[in-house]
């Protein structure tokens, strides 16, 4: 690599913003997290120049991992062009100077909020999840001393009962996002608020999965090729969302679809949540049924209008 | 030049990142042999990879236990990292063994607890030879089907103890082998077959 073009941080900042002492502390936590798949490791989360809810845990994990040779992709709800994703990508461009991309297959690190890309991640890639609440047992037991004991003894019976009650009450499991998983047959883990549609992608994924919760100061991980099973029951097997529609833009019938409002009169359409995947399919010549009349040309070129944030 | 005054990484920020990233790859793919960048000089007795990992991971918060063969590098370690020497194996965040045959028994190191399994020692064991086409058959997280790893100079007892440790999960120690510039890891999840 030419020294003239070596990626550098903006003047006055250490590479990747964090000081070296903080990086070391986070790196040690990441290594233990990989050695104990699905177990939450406390870490001394730092103040970041973005507020909580903007993925400060994921940002710190990425900052501790990223190097000059990396290519970073940042998505929010599957899209590279949402405010959160643009902001985090800009932060790393300023603080590292590394290359960024929207192409899943060209990224070495993918930082994400709320989705796993449709394009299968490969060995050597790292996916970093932004986690708001890391504790899967929180809604059963608010006391951390108790949840620690439950994880320590793998006492997860109460979680099964709670999910089963959901089935009895609603006829199905209500939890559509952040659906709990069992990692390597030992630790119950929250996958972050991804749709349960994405849960099967975590199972034996060839890429390394890292999770960072900034406000709650926890890091956890799933190594490559590790079993990740969504909780279910013999008489009620785990099921993912299915749509009667195909993507209006690329015609995909197997990707996660967002329903979007396309014009002032309230017309709606279904499009891929993963904008890179959708764009790549269209570039290969795939076409959907098209957007309803009144849909703007800018949107047809791949922007994401009307996408719900949260 | 005294051992203490030897230079560390040529580029403290990027060499530490590069070493960490390679170690992370090794830890995520047990048995895989990776190559890490070394410091500009190493104290006598330390292989470049051993020195590199210590510079990358240690600081004032990590007591480091040194075996008798490694005691001479205490000054170098303190100068570059600020890491205190651990008085006993049971309180070490990291342990460095340059003489694997004389290594204390595995259960003398900190295995953590069921609730806090991460409060465990990471062993850095410097060995004479590493190969990934012979030796143990490894299975577990990070391994697609199986991996091989051959490590020179470990006692039969050590291997027996390491296998017995598997039953204590999530408690246990994670082991990193170094040899020259090369590194391979054996996290506690890895199942060792003969
Ligand atoms: Zn599409």
Residues 56 through 75 of chain A touching chain B, CB cutoff 8 Å: 64-68
User: Do A223 and B141 count as a contact with CB atoms less than 8 A apart?
Assistant: yes
Distance of CA B94 to the CA centre of its chain: 8
pLDDT at residue A163, as a whole number: 82
Q: Is residue A118 part of a domain?
A: yes
- Shortest Cα distance from B129 to chain A (angstroms)? 24
The predicted-structure confidence for B76-92, as pLDDT tens digits, reads as follows 999 999 999 999 999 99
**Nearest by CB: A35 against B29, B56, B188:** B188
Rounded to whole angstroms, the Cα distance separating A210 from A191 reads 10
Name the DSSP letter for residue A81. Answer: S
Domain housing A286? 242-291
Domain identity same for A187 and A210:
yes
Domain identity same for A284 and A156:
no
Which SS3 state, helix, strand or coil, does residue A67 take? coil
Do A43 and A62 meet the contact criterion of CB atoms below 8 Å apart? no
- pLDDT more than 90, % of chain B: 96
Tokens of residue B35, six digits: 């190559």
- Whole-number Å distance, alpha carbon A244 to ligand 1 midpoint, is 14
- Shortest Cα distance from B123 to chain A (angstroms)? 12
Domain identity same for A165 and A249:
no
Rounded to whole angstroms, the Cα distance separating A132 from A10 reads 29
User: Do A224 and B174 count as a contact with CB atoms less than 8 A apart?
Assistant: no
Q: Is residue A235 part of a domain?
A: no
**Based on the number of CB atoms within 10 Å of its own CB, is B19 exposed (0-12), middle (13-18) or buried (19 or more)?**
buried
Domain identity same for A196 and A280:
no
Q: Is residue A308 part of a domain?
A: no
Q: Can you give the pTM of this predicted structure?
A: 0.95
Which SS3 state, helix, strand or coil, does residue B90 take? helix
Angle (CA) A38-B188-B78 rounded to 5° is: 100
Give the count of domains, chain A.
Answer: 2
Which SS3 state, helix, strand or coil, does residue A130 take? strand
Q: Is residue A108 part of a domain?
A: yes
CA-wise closest residue to A225 among B31, B21, B36, B166: B31
Domain termination site, one of A200, A230, A260: A230
Q: Is residue A12 part of a domain?
A: no
Task: Provide the CATH number for the domain around residue A128.
Answer: 3.40.50.11310
Domain identity same for A191 and A68:
yes
Residue A272 burial (CB count, 10 A): 27
CATH code: domain B3-193 is 3.40.50.11310
Which chain A residues touch B143 with a CB distance below 8 Å? 225
Domain identity same for A167 and A284:
no
The three state secondary structure string of A33-48 is HHHCCCCCEECCCCCC
ipTM of the complex model: 0.98
- Whole-number Å distance, alpha carbon A223 to ligand 1 midpoint, is 30
pLDDT along chain A (310 residues), means of 10: 70 95 98 98 90 87 98 96 94 97 98 97 98 93 95 93 82 81 97 96 98 96 98 86 93 95 88 97 95 61 39
Domain identity same for A281 and A216:
no
Domain identity same for A25 and A127:
yes
Q: Is residue A79 part of a domain?
A: yes
Q: Is residue A44 part of a domain?
A: yes
User: Do A186 and B62 count as a contact with CB atoms less than 8 A apart?
Assistant: no
The predicted-structure confidence for B16-45, as pLDDT tens digits, reads as follows 999 999 999 999 999 999 999 999 999 999
Q: Is residue A126 part of a domain?
A: yes
Rounded to whole angstroms, the Cα distance separating B95 from B102 reads 13
Query: From the CA atom positions of chain B, what is the Rg in Å?
Result: 16
Tokens of residue A31, six digits: 């290594």
Domain identity same for A203 and A246:
no
Question: For chain B, what are the domain ranges?
Answer: 3-193
Render each residue's pLDDT in chain B as its tens digit; 194 residues: 466 679 999 999 999 999 999 999 999 999 999 999 999 999 999 999 999 999 999 999 999 999 999 999 999 999 999 999 999 999 999 999 999 999 999 999 999 999 999 999 999 999 999 999 999 999 999 999 999 999 999 999 999 999 999 999 999 999 999 999 999 999 999 999 87
User: Do B142 and A34 count as a contact with CB atoms less than 8 A apart?
Assistant: yes
- Whole-number Å distance, alpha carbon A302 to ligand 1 midpoint, is 9
Which SS3 state, helix, strand or coil, does residue A106 take? helix
Domain identity same for A114 and A256:
no
Distance of CA A13 to the CA centre of its chain: 27
């Amino acid at each position: 690599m030419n020294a003239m073009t070596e990626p550098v941080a903006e003047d006055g900042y250490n590479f990747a913003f964090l000081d070296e002492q903080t990086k070391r502390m986070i790196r040690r936590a990441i290594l233990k997290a990989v050695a104990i798949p699905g177990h939450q490791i406390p870490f001394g989360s730092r103040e970041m120049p973005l507020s909580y809810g903007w993925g400060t845990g994921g940002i710190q994990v990425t900052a501790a991992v990223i190097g000059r040779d990396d290519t970073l992709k940042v998505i929010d709800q599957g899209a590279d062009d949402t405010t959160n994703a643009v902001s985090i990508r800009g932060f790393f461009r300023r603080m590292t100077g590394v290359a960024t991309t929207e192409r899943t297959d060209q990224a070495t690190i993918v930082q994400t909020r709320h989705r796993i890309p449709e394009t299968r991640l490969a060995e050597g890639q790292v996916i970093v999840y932004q986690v708001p609440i890391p504790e899967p047992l929180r809604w059963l037991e608010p006391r951390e001393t108790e949840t620690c004991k439950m994880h320590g003894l793998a006492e997860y019976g109460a979680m099964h009962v709670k999910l089963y009650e959901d089935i009895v009450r609603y006829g199905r499991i209500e939890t559509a996002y952040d659906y709990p998983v069992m990692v390597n047959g030992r630790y119950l883990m929250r996958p972050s608020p991804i749709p349960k549609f994405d849960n099967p992608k975590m199972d034996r994924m060839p890429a390394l999965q890292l999770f960072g919760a900034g406000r709650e100061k926890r890091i956890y991980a799933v190594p490559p090729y590790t079993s990740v099973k969504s909780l279910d029951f013999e008489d009620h097997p785990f099921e993912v969302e299915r749509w009667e529609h195909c993507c209006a833009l690329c015609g995909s019938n197997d990707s996660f679809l967002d329903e979007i409002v396309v014009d002032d009169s309230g017309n709606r359409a279904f499009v891929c949540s993963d904008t890179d995947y959708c764009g790549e399919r269209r570039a290969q010549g795939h076409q959907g049924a098209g957007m309803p009349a009144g849909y703007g040309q800018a949107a047809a070129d791949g922007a994401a209008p009307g996408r719900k944030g949260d | 030049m005294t051992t203490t005054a030897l230079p560390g990484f040529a580029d403290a920020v990027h060499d530490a990142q590069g070493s960490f990233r390679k170690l992370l790859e090794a830890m995520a793919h047990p048995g895989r042999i990776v190559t890490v960048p070394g410091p500009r000089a190493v104290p006598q007795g330390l292989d470049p990879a051993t020195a590199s990992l210590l510079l990358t991971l240690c600081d004032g918060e990590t007591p480091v236990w040194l075996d008798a063969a490694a005691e001479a590098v205490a000054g170098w370690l303190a100068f570059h990292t600020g890491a205190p020497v651990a008085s006993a194996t049971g309180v070490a965040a990291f342990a460095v063994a340059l003489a694997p045959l004389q290594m204390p028994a595995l259960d003398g190191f900190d295995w953590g607890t069921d609730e806090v399994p991460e409060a465990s020692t990471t062993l850095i064991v410097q060995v004479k030879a590493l190969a990934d086409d012979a030796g143990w058959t490894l299975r577990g997280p990070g391994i697609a089907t199986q991996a091989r790893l051959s490590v020179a100079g470990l006692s039969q007892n050590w291997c027996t103890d390491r296998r017995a440790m598997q039953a204590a999960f999530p408690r246990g120690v994670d082991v990193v082998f170094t040899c020259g510039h090369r590194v391979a890891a054996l996290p506690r999840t890895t199942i060792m077959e003969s």
